[in-house]
Structures are given as structure tokens and as C-alpha cells.
Amino acid sequence: MPNKDVHIYIDDDTGFKYIFDGTNLVRLPDDSGSGNGSDDSKQNQNDNKSDENGSLDDAKE
């Protein structure tokens, strides 16, 4: 097999890594092993927001 120029791209929005060999663009598996790291991070952000809102509501009472 001839050697190809291989490039790795990282999507800043999702954190996904893609490998491009000049013909095919393939997403690499996540390092976290949880399947979709993007969904996990969004869930954590939502949890933090609800916690903050809850504490603000408690302070008003």
C-alpha cells in the first residue's frame, strides 16, 4: 500500500476527531468511551444551570 498524507481534524464545537486520508473522512472514536462526549458535556451544563437556578430560588424565599 502506498503511503498517503493523513490529516487529523478536531471539531471545536463537538470535540470529535476526524481523520482524512485524501479520500475518506472518518470520525475517530471518543477518548471518553461513553459514546458521545458532546451529549455528556451538554448534560453537565444543563445540570449546573438547574442547580444555579434552584439555589437562586432558595435565596429568594
pLDDT 10s digit of each residue in the chain, 61 long?
Answer: 566 689 999 999 999 999 998 899 999 887 655 545 455 445 555 555 555 555 555 555 5
Query: What pLDDT was estimated at residue 48?
Result: 52
Query: What pLDDT was estimated at residue 5?
Result: 84
Query: What pLDDT was estimated at residue 53?
Result: 53
Dihedral of CA atoms 32, 35, 38, 42 in degrees, nearest 10, equals: -100
pTM of the model as a whole: 0.40
Give me the amino acid identity at 32. Answer: S
Q: Which three cell numbers stand for residue 28?
A: 475517530
